[in-house]
Structure 1
Amino acid sequence: MIKDVRFILNLKPDFGGGVMSEPKSPTPTPAGDTYKGWVFKWTNYIKGYQRRWFVLSNGLLSYYRTQAEMGHTCRGTINLATAVISVDDACNFVISNGGAQTYHLKASSEVERQRWITALELAKAKAARMQAESDDSGDDFSPSSLQVGGGQGGGHQNSEVQSTLRTLGSKVEDLSTCNDLISKHGSALQRSLSELDGLRLTGEAGDKIRQVTERATLFRITSNAMINACRDFLSLAQSHSKRWQKALQAERDQRVRLEEALEQLAKQHNHLERAFKGAAQAHAIVDNKGTAGPGKGEASDEDDENEFFDAMEDAPEFITVPADPQFHKRSSSNVSGLNTDMCADDQSLNEEPLAMNQESPSQELVPLRKRRTRIPDKPNYSLNLWSIMKNCIGKDLSKIPMPVNFNEPISMLQRLSEDLEYHELLDKAAKCHSSLEQMCYVAAFCVSAYSTTVYRTGKPFNPLLGETYELDRRRESGYRSLCEQVSHHPPAAAHHAISDRGWTLRQEITVASKFRGKYLSIMPLGTIHAIFEKSNNHYTWKKVTTTVHNIIVGKLWIDQSGEIDIVNHTTGDRCHLKFAPYSYFSRDVARKVTGVVMDKDGKAHYVLSGTWDEKMEFSRVMQSSRGGENGTEGKQKTVYQTLKARELWKRNPLPDGAESMYYFTALALTLNEPEEGVAPTDSRRRPDQRLMEDGRWEEANGEKQRLEEKQRSARREREREAASQRASGQSEDGAPHDSHKALWFESCEDQITGEQVHIYKGGYWETKELGSWEGCPDIF
C-alpha cells in the first residue's frame, strides 16, 4: 500500500521544467490556439468507431475524415460554449450540444483522453467568456484609453496596442481557468489519497489506485498548461514593453515631422499663389501688346515635358520576364508604331457614325423616336413555394405551368435580342483591317452578352410556338433583328440580325436545364455566327453554362462558367475564352474571364482579360515563352510579354431605379414598349406578359394558363391532321407528328458546322412595309 502511494506521488508535475517520468507528447494549448489530433468517433452499429481528424480552434471542435479535407470539406462542427463534456470510462468521452449534436469519442490512451479533456475544458471556459463579453455593451479596452500619439500612423499603432493588450488579457484569463481546474483536481486528488489511507488490501485497491493515477496525471497536464501560459505571458510582457516605448517615441517624432511638413507646405502654397497671380498679370500684358512669342515658347516647353513623361510611362508596358535584352530594345523601338496604328483604327471607328449620318442628311429631318426610360415598378407579391412544389411531384419540370411570380415581363425572344446591347463592338470589328484585332472585338461582344444577367434572376416567358419578336434599330444604330420560336419540344428560337455597317449575326438556341437541388444549370445548345461583309470573315462560337444558385433557400445569384472557342473559318484564327466559376476559396476576382487570340499556326497575338459583368481589356503579345511542356499543365505555364492593356468594352450603368424594375438595362426597358406595325405574333402583343408588366399578376396568371391551353389544343389538332394524312397515305412513313413549320425561317443544314438549323429566308421586313400579315397564325 505504501509503495503504491509513493509511486502515485512520484507523478507530480515538474514545476521547474524538468523531465517527466513519461515520454513527452503534445500538450493541449489554451482555447484560441489550435489543437489537432486523431480521435476515434462512433459512427453506427455497422462500422463502429472510425478514425477521424479533430481540430479544436476558437471554441469550435470540428472533424474531418483526413487531414487533406481541412481545406474544403468539414464533416461536422460543435460549439463548446454550450456543450456538455462527460467521461464514460478510461478512454471514452462524450461531447453533447443540447441533444442536437452528440459526439461519442474514444482516445488511443488514457493520457491522450485527459489531454483532450483539458483542452476542451479550457476552450469551453474561454468560449463562454467570449460569449458573455459579446453580450456585454462595455469594453475593457476602449480606443480612447489607448491613444499614444498623433499623426497618420496613430491608428495602426493603436490597433496593434489593443491587439497586444487583448492577447495579454486572454493569457491572464487562461491562468485563472487553469487555477480553477488545478484547485478542483487537487481537491479530488486529496480526497482520493485520504481514501487510500483507510483502504484495506482487497480487490478494490486496484481500482482506487488507478483512479488516483488518472487524477494525478490530469493534475500534471493542467499544471503544465498553466506553466506554459505563465511563460507566454512573461515573454510577451518582456518583448512588448520596449516595443511600446519605441512606438510611443516614434509617434511623437512622426507628429513633429508632420507639423513641420505641414508648415512647409503652407509656405509653398502661399508662394505658388503669388507666382500664379504674377504670371497671369504678365500674360494679360503680353496679349494686349499682341506679342505672343514668349508664351508660345513656354507652351512648347510644356509640350516637350508632357511628351517626355508620356514616354517614361510607356516604358514599363512589358511584363517583367526573363528575355533576351536585344529583344527588349527591338520591341521597345516598335512600341510607338504599334500604338499609333491601333489608335488610328480606334479614331476611324469613332468617326464612322458621324460619316454615316452625313451621307444621309434626309434622316436628320425626321427626329428619332424617343424610347421609354421606365416601366411600372415590380409589385411586392408574396409567393408560397410549397403550394407550387407540391404540384410538381412526379411531373416533368419543363411541362409544369409556373406562375408569373418567377418571371420578368419579357419573353425569351426579347432576352435573346438583348445580345445586341453592345452592337457597337461589331460595328468596330467590321472596320478593323486586321483579322486578329477583329477577333478581339468579336470576343468582347461574346462576353458582353452576359453582362445583362448579373442581377436578372427572373425567368423570361417561354415563347409560344410561332411567336416572333422584331427589334428595328436601323435609324438609331443601323441594325434590324428578328426572332421566331421555331420549336416547342424541345424549345428552340432562331435569331437573325443584319446591320448596315457590314455585319450579320445569326443563331439558333435550344436550352437544356438540369435541376441539382441547390442550383439550376442552364446549358444553351446551338452555334452563334457572325459574318462581316468587307473581310468575308465568318466567326462561330457557343455559349457557356449559366448556373442559378440558391433555388430553394437563400438569395438567388447567377454565375457563368465554362470555355468558349471562337473560330474564324476564313483565316483559321482562334480565340479561347475561359469563364472561371465562382469559388469561395479563390483569390481571383469574381466573374473573371481570360482569353488568348491565336493565328492558324497557334501563335498568340493578343491576351484578353476582365470580367463578364464589368469590362474586357486586351494586350498585344510581344513574346511568349512556354515552360514545363512535359507536364500536364503546360498551357497554364506559358508566359506572355505584352504591351499595356487597353479597354475593349465596358458595361453601361443601369438606369436609376433599376432595382425596382427587374434590373432592366436601358435597352431592356424598351424591348416590350408597344409599337405600331409589328406582326400579330410579336411578343409585345402577348396579353399575359403585358398584364404582368402593368402589375396585374393575378390576371396575368389566368391569361397565361389560357394561352398555354390554346397552344396545347393547336398541337393536338396538328397531330390529328398528321395522323389522318398518314392513314390516307398522303404523307410519308416516319413523318413527324407535329407538322409545324416556321414562317420566316427555313430548316436546312449549316454549311459551316453541319448542324440542322433554321436560317432566315427573308420576307418579314417587306411584309411589314406592306402591312399584310394574313399568313401569321393566331397564337394570342
Structure 2
Amino acid sequence: MSDSKAPTPTPAGDTYKGWVFKWTNYIKGYQRRWFVLSNGLLSYYRTQAEMGHTCRGTINLATATITVDDACNFVISNGGAQTYHLKASCEVERQRWITALELAKAKAADMQQESDDSGDDFSPSSHPAIPGQGSASQNSEVQSALRTLGSKVEDLSTCNDLISKHGSALQRSLSELDSLRLSGEAGDKIRQVTERATLFRITSNAMINACRDFLALAQAHSKRWQKALQAEREQRVRLEETLETLAKQHNHLERAFRGAAQANATADNKSKGEASDEDDDNEFFDAMEEAPEFITVPADPHFHKSFHFVLKLNEEPLAMSQEPSQELVPLKKRRNRIPDKPNYSLNLWSIMKNCIGKELSKIPMPVNFNEPISMLQRLSEDLEYYDLLDKGAKCHSSLEQMCYVAAFSVSSYSTTVHRTGKPFNPLLGETYELDRRRENGYRSLCEQVSHHPPAAAHHAISDRGWTLRQEITVASKFRGKYLSIMPLGTIHAIFEKGNNHYTWKKVTTTVHNIIVGKLWIDQSGEIDVVNHTTGDRCHLKFAPYSYFSRDVARKVTGVVMDKDGKAHYVLSGTWDEKMEFSRVMQSSRGGEYGAEGKQKTVYQTLKAREIWRRNPLPYGAETMYYFTSLALTLNELEDSVAPTDSRRRPDQRLMEDGRWDEANAEKQRLEEKQRSVRREREREAVNQRTASQSEEAIDEDLLNDSSLKYSPHDNYKALWFDRCDDPINGEAVHIYKGGYWEAKERNSWEGCPDIF
C-alpha cells in the first residue's frame, strides 16, 4: 500500500493509533506497522487484527528520547535497549505523532515522578494477581482495604482537630486559674477546668482507639503485602533471566537467518527479486542501534579468473613472515607469575559516589582499586604485538602496510577486556624503560612529562625499521553508573622503507557497572589511520556494546583506501580477539539504505585471512589481575634501570607483594612529597617573575594569586624529552631528544630527580 493510502492516525481519549513505516532489518528495510500509543506506552503490531493477541514490541515513553531525523523520519530510543526508526507518510502526519508522543512522554514522566516521590515500592492498584488467587478478587480486596484505611485516616484527622481545639481551651483555662487569687470564683473556675479536661480526655481516648484500629488493620495486611511484593520481585528476576536467554537465542537465530538469506540472494541473484511481504514471519528484531557502514559480499567467479594473480597473492601472506636469522645469544629468563591478588572486600561506589563529574586523576583512590603497574607500563603494553609493525616494515606496498598498522592500532585494546583495575598515576619525572632489543629487536622509553593535566611521552625504536612515538593525556569523567576515559593525543608510526608516516588517535574506554554489578570494559568510537606520505587512509569503527544487538560484541570494521578514495582492503573482527583482512575486487552502491537514508557501499572481496589474533592469557591470570605474559614481566626488578623507573616505586612494589595497607601509607607519602616539590617549584617561578618588579618577600597570598600561577610546562622541563611543535600536525608535544640509553650504558644518572 502506498503512503498516500495510509490512514491518518486517530486519537481516542488518551489513545493514539495509526500506520507508521518501521525499519525492520537490512533485508526488508522499512515495513508498514500499526502503532498504538496508550498510557505512556508505544506498542506496535503487524496488523490491526493482532492487537488482541500479539504485540511485537513496546517502549515506555517515560524514559525514552524522541529525535527527528528529517521531514518524515523520527527515532524513539529507550536507553539503548530498544530503538525504533520510524517514517511517516508525510510531514504533517509525522508532526501529529511527535506531538502525541511528547504529550504522552510528559504525562508518563509526571506519573513516574509522583510514584518515586511517594516512596512506594508496591502499588496495590497495579499489582498483578498473587499466585493462587484471581486478579479480580485480588484487586477488589486491595481496593476494599484502601477504603477502610482511608476512613480510619479521616477519623484520625477529625480527632486531631478536636484535640487541638479542646487542648487550646484547656490551656487558656489553666492560665486563667493560675492568674486568679483565692476568691469566691475559684470553685466555678475549677469546675470549668475539670469539665474541659474531661472532654479532652474523652477525645484523646477516641483518637487512641482509632489509632489502635488502624494499626491492627495495617498489621493484618502487612504480611500479605510483603509476600505479594516478594513474589513480584522474584517474578521480575525470572523475567530478566528469561529475557536474557531469549535475546541470546534470537541473536543466534538472526545471524543464522542473515547468513542463509545472503547465501540465497547470491545464488539466486538473477532469478529472484527483493524479499516479499510474505516473509514477514522471519522478522525477529528491531533495527540495530549501530548500523554497519558498508556491506561485503564474495567476489563474483569471473573476478577469481580475471584476477587469478591477485588471488594467488592473497593466498600468501601480505609480507614476508619469516624472521631474519638471529645470532644465538643467551636471553634473560622472564618471570611468568606474580603474587596472587589478595581477597579484599572492595566497594568502589563508597569512594566514588562523591566524585561524580570529576577528573579521575584528581580522585584520591587507595591502591585497593589499582593494579600493580603504572600508567607508563600500561602504555608500554601497546608493544605486545610489535610483530605487526615488523611485518609492516617488510611490505612493498603502502596499502598492505596500512593493513598491519590498522591491526596494530586495534591490538592495543585486547589487554583491556578483563583489566578493570586502575594503573598507578605516575609521579612527575617518573620513567619506564622496556628493553627488548635482544629478544624482539625494539626498546622503548616512557616519561611522565606533566602532572596536571597528566601526560606521558613514549618513544620506541626497532632495529627492524620502524619507530613509534606518542604523547597521551588521559581525560576521564565519572558519570555515576559508568566511567569514561578519553585518551587525548596522537600516535605516530614511522617506517624507514618508503618513509611512510602514519598517525591515529585512541578511542574512548568506558567502565560500566560502577554502582552495582560486575565491572566490564567497552571500547567505542572511530579511528582514522592516515599515511601522511602517500595520502592513504583507513577508517576504523569500534561499535559500542548493545545488549540487543544482532552483531558480535566488540566488533571493529574498517576500509583501507588510497588518496583518491578507492577501497583496496576491508578489515573486520573484534578488538578483544582477532582481526581479518580481505582484498576488495570491486565496489558499488547497493540497494540498502542506512539510518540517514544514504546508500551503503557493497564491496566484493576475496576470501578473508587472519592478520592478528590475541595471545592467550597465562595460566592463573584471573588471580594475577588478568595480566598478559608481557604484563607479568613489566614490573620485574632490574638493576640497571634509572632511579626514576616505575619498577623502583615503593608503593607499587608493596602492592604487588600483597601489603596493601603499607602501600596506601607509602602512596600518601609519595603524593605529599610530590606536592611539596611542586609548591617549591612554583615559589621559585614566582620569585623569578617578580624579582624585577619588587623586592618584597613572597608570602602564601602571593603564591595563591592566579595571575602568577605557572603551568607545569612553564616551570618544569622533562629530562629525556623536548617540548616542541609536531612537524606533522602542529600539536605541542614532547619528542625524545636522546641520551637515555647512553646514560644507561655509562650507568650515569646524575640528572635524575629524587621522586621516590
Report the aligned-residue RMSD.
Answer: 3.9
What does the per-residue CA deviation read over 1:626-672, in whole Å, with 9 as the maximum and x for residues that have no partner? 14699874766110000000000000100000000000000000000
Q: Work out whether 1:128 is the aligned partner of 2:124.
A: no
Matched AA of 1:452: T
Shift of 1:356: 3.3
Distance 1:395 1:349, change over 3 A: closer
Q: Work out whether 1:576 is the aligned partner of 2:539.
A: yes
Q: Work out whether 1:603 is the aligned partner of 2:572.
A: no
Shift of 1:103: 7.4
Matched AA of 1:383: L
Distance 2:266 2:36 in 1: 45
Task: Choose the corresponding residue for 1:473, options 436, 456, 459.
Answer: 436
Structure with higher RCO (Cα < 8 A, 6+ apart):
2
Shift of 1:67: 13
SS in 2 for 1:775: coil
Distance 1:373 1:683 in 2: 19
TM-score using structure 1 length: 0.59
Task: Choose the corresponding residue for 2:523, options 560, 564, 572.
Answer: 560
Question: Which residue number corresponds to residue 78 of structure 2?
Answer: 73
Shift of 1:39: 5.6
Question: Which residue number corresponds to residue 748 of structure 2?
Answer: 772
Q: Work out whether 1:754 is the aligned partner of 2:725.
A: no
Contact 1:413-1:468 at 8 Å conserved across structures:
yes
Q: How does 1:424-435 map to 2 (within 5 A)?
A: 424-435=387-398
What does the per-residue CA deviation read over 1:320-374, in whole Å, with 9 as the maximum and x for residues that have no partner? 7969xxx94652224542243345555x6222x2x331xxx3xx1x311110000
Distance 1:501 1:67 in 2: 55
Question: Which residue number corresponds to residue 64 of structure 1?
Answer: 60
Distance 1:473 1:452, change over 3 A: same
Matched AA of 1:350: S
Contact 1:432-1:438 at 8 Å conserved across structures:
yes
Matched AA of 1:766: E
Please say which of residues 626-635 and 556-565 is displaced more in the overlay.
Answer: 626-635
Task: Choose the corresponding residue for 1:621, options 584, 604, 612.
Answer: 584
Question: Which residue number corresponds to residue 494 of structure 1?
Answer: 457
SS in 1 for 2:497: coil
What does the per-residue CA deviation read over 1:11-47, in whole Å, with 9 as the maximum and x for residues that have no partner? xxxxxxxxxxxxxx9xxxxxxxxxx97665xxxxxxx
Matched AA of 1:101: F
Q: How does 1:22-421 map to 2 (within 5 A)?
A: 64-65=60-61, 73=78, 100-102=121-123, 124=128, 128=131, 328=300, 330-346=302-318, 349-351=320-322, 353=323, 355-357=324-326, 361=327, 364=328, 366-385=329-348, 388-389=351-352, 398-421=361-384
Q: Work out whether 1:508 is the aligned partner of 2:479.
A: no
Distance 1:757 1:507 in 2: 8
SS in 2 for 1:128: coil
What does the per-residue CA deviation read over 1:197-228, in whole Å, with 9 as the maximum and x for residues that have no partner? xxxxxxxxxxxxxxxxxxxxxxxxxxxxxxxx
Q: Work out whether 1:646 is the aligned partner of 2:667.
A: no
Distance 2:406 2:533 in 1: 16
Matched AA of 2:465: G
- Matched positions, count: 506
Distance 1:439 1:395, change over 3 A: closer
Distance 1:385 1:345 in 2: 47
Q: Which runs of 5+ in 1 are unaligned?
A: 1-24, 26-35, 41-50, 76-94, 106-119, 133-176, 185-315
Distance 1:416 1:384 in 2: 27
Contact 1:606-1:620 at 8 Å conserved across structures:
yes
SS in 2 for 1:409: strand
Distance 1:521 1:397 in 2: 9
Distance 2:496 2:678 in 1: 40
Question: Which residue number corresponds to residue 519 of structure 1?
Answer: 482
Distance 1:628 1:514 in 2: 42
TM-score using structure 2 length: 0.61
Matched AA of 2:729: T
SS in 2 for 1:751: coil
Q: Work out whether 1:736 is the aligned partner of 2:710.
A: yes
Distance 1:393 1:52, change over 3 A: closer
Contact 1:519-1:549 at 8 Å conserved across structures:
yes
Contact 1:723-1:737 at 8 Å conserved across structures:
no
What does the per-residue CA deviation read over 1:231-289, in whole Å, with 9 as the maximum and x for residues that have no partner? xxxxxxxxxxxxxxxxxxxxxxxxxxxxxxxxxxxxxxxxxxxxxxxxxxxxxxxxxxx
Question: Which residue number corresponds to residue 551 of structure 2?
Answer: 588
Contact 2:349-2:514 at 8 Å conserved across structures:
no
Contact 2:593-2:599 at 8 Å conserved across structures:
no
Contact 1:321-1:641 at 8 Å conserved across structures:
no
Please say which of residues 66-75 and 329-338 is displaced more in the overlay.
Answer: 66-75
- Matched-pair identity in %: 73
Distance 1:395 1:527 in 2: 24
Distance 2:119 2:716 in 1: 64
What does the per-residue CA deviation read over 1:605-624, in whole Å, with 9 as the maximum and x for residues that have no partner? 11100000000000100000
SS in 2 for 1:653: coil
Distance 2:426 2:394 in 1: 36
Distance 2:492 2:711 in 1: 31
Q: How does 1:432-471 map to 2 (within 5 A)?
A: 432-471=395-434
Higher Rg of the two aligned structures = 1
Distance 1:769 1:529 in 2: 27
Distance 1:634 1:760, change over 3 A: farther
Shift of 1:597: 0.4
Distance 1:751 1:386, change over 3 A: closer
Question: Which residue number corresponds to residue 502 of structure 2?
Answer: 539
Question: Which residue number corresponds to residue 226 of structure 1?
Answer: none
Matched AA of 2:313: D
Distance 1:680 1:489 in 2: 23
Distance 2:537 2:444 in 1: 27
Distance 1:531 1:634, change over 3 A: farther
Matched AA of 1:379: P
SS in 1 for 2:371: strand
SS in 2 for 1:356: coil
Distance 1:320 1:98, change over 3 A: same
Contact 1:626-1:634 at 8 Å conserved across structures:
no
Q: Which runs of 5+ in 2 are unaligned?
A: 1-14, 16-34, 45-51, 66-74, 81-114, 142-262, 271-298, 695-706
Distance 1:666 1:684 in 2: 17
SS in 2 for 1:640: strand
Contact 2:360-2:476 at 8 Å conserved across structures:
no
